[in-house]
Amino acid sequence: MDTQLRRGAQQGAAHDPGTNVERTDTRESCIEALLNLGIRSSQARLIRRYFRDMRAGKPSLADACAVAGVSAEMLARALSRVLGANYMSFFDLALIDEQAMRQMLEDRTRAGDALKTLLSTAGEESYVPGYAWNPKAGTSKGIVVVASETAYHNVRRMVDSRGWTIMVGSPRTLRTIYRRYLAPGSVDFDREYEQLARRAREVSGTGVDLESGGADGSTLERMLVGVLRAAAFSAASDIQCIPFGEARGGAIKFRVDGVYETFRYLEAGIYQRLINRLRDLTQVTTETLSKKILTEGSFINAEGQDSPYFKALRTVLAQFLFRVEVGAAKMGCTVTIRILDREGVTADFRQLGFLREDADYLAHLMDYSAGLILVTGPTGSGKTTTLNGMLSLVDPEPRSVQSIEFPVEYIDPRRLQYEVPTTSESEEGKAREIFKGVLRNDPDTVQIGEIRDAGMARLSFDASNTGHLVLSTLHTRDSVSAVTRLRELGVPNAEIASELLCIIGQRLVRKVCPYCSEDDTREDTHRMIGLFGYGGGAKPKKASSDGCERCHNTGYRGRVMVYEVLRMEQRLRQAIEAGGAPSALESIGRPKRRSMWGFGLLLVAKGEITIDELHLSVPPMDIDESRRATDNEGSDT
């Protein structure tokens, strides 16, 4: 191994990846680059003041930016400009060529040796090597993604000599690449499963304990940690354990990009034992299940336990939050686990996927001192990400931002964040209690995780009416349906019309795989695109039925936001106050291409998503409505 590279990597690993910048001159250059990228001058002043006031504690630029409300992605963009390197956005991860990386790791060629040499000294805390797909050239090229100035200089000579490219990414981007494609698993699930299955066959009918003879803790526990790691590191949002009956075993499934896929099938005896162990570790008893068919659990505190299993569990629990729901179904015990990244950071608002016109409009609303902004959609549609991205636009110096969340998903040092305890009998009641306390806590802007009942709706409108900017979410079909839902919760039409600033409806739709997608020549696709005025130059795609290795044979890779913004303009306010029906509100507030369906068709025309996925994910407009929307386009502008 290259001695200089090894020494440099060790030095780089000694620095916090969030440090990003070591020298004062580079730090000042980064601040100037951030100003050129659009941060406010007040934010630059806060960054410099942080370094002045915290100099005894060796402050990092990442910490200073976090306090000033500058995202890690924005900082990575600035650092890339200062270093003269390319920038890799967190949203560019779909370009990572997993197949090329896997092939190179198995090769004994010079290219393979280069990747293995870099990988042996890298990690999620310093830099990560890999391969990225270039859609224009149609080829893959070796890359090294760094998050700090130190790591950049450490690997530059090695990378340049091999013709690879250095890219700058945020610490979150590094962690995700490392975990998803390169992290060595501490538990080989398949190996443990085969060992347990073989043991089950050996002791069948003998009365011997299936797990007797284990050398360093329970095989079941090692399998459990393996499942949690595999799901979390593959960017799954949920794990679901499904029983097939006492004699048939069960399946473990992961939800990735909004779609469930089977991780493994388990034999009957092993499935039941794994579920029983999981129930023990989440403190859900048989007695509890007999009283409540579905009950929530949480992993036990593993502190003080020294077995290899508990050490591995503590590591996973420190990085991810797992919300567990255990149920007693007809076929057996079910378990559903929601996965939240504890190290998640607020996304750069301008990279969420809004059109520039809509992004500018929403950014303008965040300067308001009072009013209510709602984001609607089903579970897993990205509502919380959008809310936090919008809150990142609030100037943190003159305003107090406070939140009530179920739970806190994005840690932001600039605001006061209060988490509703999941152990409380009534989350809604506890949330209302916290909300009342927050309103006595002198806030300017308030984020509420979700408006779930009439009491929370009443408090939200009262807060808006008394001079607070309030942001929250609703579970409704689309933006217009949110008005109907507020009426059902007892909010008068006059208050809805006067207090609402806008309603965002959104979904996350799977993107077609760029490696194996095919041209969509279907007449219906082109007719629908044409009805919305996107026919000229349209290049719609459809997913390959067989997919490829890069998309795990699904035909899809990554997701993109499809949205609509219902702007509370004068005519719409008047219609709401008059008690207008949803159809009337829709015709006034969502003209032309402003619906989710209209924006989705724009992405279909660009070849980013398929019309099939649009049909599956987004409430459609019928063809007659589509035609009227297009025909009226000229008169509505």
pLDDT tens-digit readout, 549-585: 778 888 998 899 999 999 999 999 999 999 999 989 9
Task: Report how far residue 528's alpha carbon sits from residue 557's, in angstroms, rounded to the nearest whole number.
Answer: 24
Strand arrangement, sheet containing 401-405: 416-419, 401-405, 445-448, 469-474, 371-376, 500-512, 556-567
How many CA atoms lie less than 13 Å away from 298 in the CB half-sphere?
8
Average pLDDT over residues 115-132: 75
Q: What is the pLDDT of residue 592?
A: 67
Task: Report how far residue 595's alpha carbon sits from residue 564's, in angstroms, rounded to the nearest whole number.
Answer: 5
How many residues in total does the chain contain? 637
Determine the residue type at 254: F
Residue 604 pLDDT > 90, yes or no? yes
Q: What is the pLDDT of residue 397?
A: 81
Question: In sequence order, what are the residues at sequence separation of 6 or more whose Cβ sits closer than 8 angstroms to the Cβ of residue 360?
Answer: none
Which of the two residues, 18 and 322, has the higher pLDDT score? Answer: 322
DSSP single-letter state for residue 419: E
Structure tokens at 65: 């930016």
pLDDT confidence bin for 406, thresholds 50/70/90:
confident
Structural domains in the chain, sorted by start: 28-120 (no CATH), 123-182 (no CATH), 185-341 (3.30.450.90), 349-507+561-590 (3.40.50.300)
Task: Report how far residue 292's alpha carbon sits from residue 287's, in angstroms, rounded to the nearest whole number.
Answer: 9
Task: Report how far residue 557's alpha carbon sits from residue 551's, in angstroms, rounded to the nearest whole number.
Answer: 5
Contact 235, 242 (CB under 8 A): no
Structure tokens at 61: 């630029």
CA distances from 430 to 321, 325, 424, 425, 578 (A): 21, 20, 7, 9, 35
pLDDT tens-digit readout, 612-625: 999 999 977 655 54
Q: What is the pLDDT of residue 581?
A: 94
Contact 567, 502 (CB under 8 A): yes
Average pLDDT over residues 525-530: 91
- Whether the ω angle into residue 243 lies within 30 degrees of 0, i.e. cis, is no
Q: What is the pLDDT of residue 531?
A: 87
Residue 5 pLDDT > 50, yes or no? no
Q: What is the pLDDT of residue 413?
A: 81
pLDDT confidence bin for 233, thresholds 50/70/90:
confident
* Helix, strand or coil, per DSSP, at residue 110: helix
Rg of the chain on CA atoms, in Å: 26
Q: Which percentage of the chain shows pLDDT scores above 90?
A: 39
- This prediction has a pTM of 0.82
Q: What is the pLDDT of residue 374?
A: 97
Average pLDDT over residues 249-259: 91
Q: What is the pLDDT of residue 427?
A: 75
pLDDT confidence bin for 304, thresholds 50/70/90:
low
Task: Report how far residue 402's alpha carbon sits from residue 160's, in angstroms, rounded to the nearest whole number.
Answer: 47
